[in-house]
Amino acid sequence: MIGQWQKGQWQSNLRLRRSLFVLLNAAALGGLLCLFAWPIQAFFADRDIEILQQRAILARLSAIAAQRATVADLVTQAASNGSAEFLQGGNDGVAAANLQTLVKGMVELTGARLRSVRTLPTKPQEDMKIIGVQVDITGTIQAVYQSVRAVETAKPFLFIVGALLRPTQRVAMTPPGMSAEPTIDAQLDIVGAMQIEGDK
């Protein structure tokens, strides 16, 4: 009787040890999965997302690059027509001064304030010259946006080839009881094309 009880207890202990062994192995396997398998899977998933994002950016850039021929055709047509798509002026200095005046008028109409303007170096190309100015303006976000829009829809054709935006450091004076509208400083590099004499 005692022998049977001891034998039963030993078998029960054996089952308990086997169960503990299985549980410990399962826990160890789960720990290994947490330490190695899941991070690797997450890495590859993140990499796949990054690849998809880069493909989307590349597709957008390719679409922009594909428009190069169309833009070149438009420039050629405008050059042959001798129309108002080009900056006017007898020389680079006059064309740059005209561009400064044109940009100043556009900015002032939007409510933004022109703080400074300077001429960028002229860049000769085939049958035209690229005349540019760098302007520093300040104003509300809406005013700066309207300034950019005015430049990009202007005739002669103008292009913003560089932009630097930052929050305005100065504190604007506002009437009591009114909240101050956020303002930004914008530095814009604006260029236009001028036909070289004899190519009109």
Read off the pTM: 0.54
Instruction: Please report which helix (H) or strand (E) contains residue 159, including its range.
Output: strand 158-167
Closest CA to 161 of 180, 148, 147, 174: 148
CATH topology of domain 84-195: Alpha-Beta Plaits (3.30.70)
CA distances from 95 to 88, 118, 136, 144, 162 (A): 6, 13, 20, 24, 20
In the chain the first and final C-alpha atoms are separated, in Å, by 120
**DSSP H helical ranges for the chain:** 2-32, 38-66, 68-81, 92-110, 141-152
- Going from N- to C-terminal start, the domains of the chain cover 1-66, 84-195
Can you tell me whether residue 170 is helix, strand or coil? coil
Residues of the chain with pLDDT under 70: 1-14, 32-39, 57-58, 60-62, 64-83, 169-180, 197-200
pLDDT digits (tens, 9 = 90+) for 62-114: 676 666 666 666 656 655 555 578 888 778 888 889 999 999 999 989 889 99
Token output for 20: 């503990």
| Identity of the residue numbered 126 | E
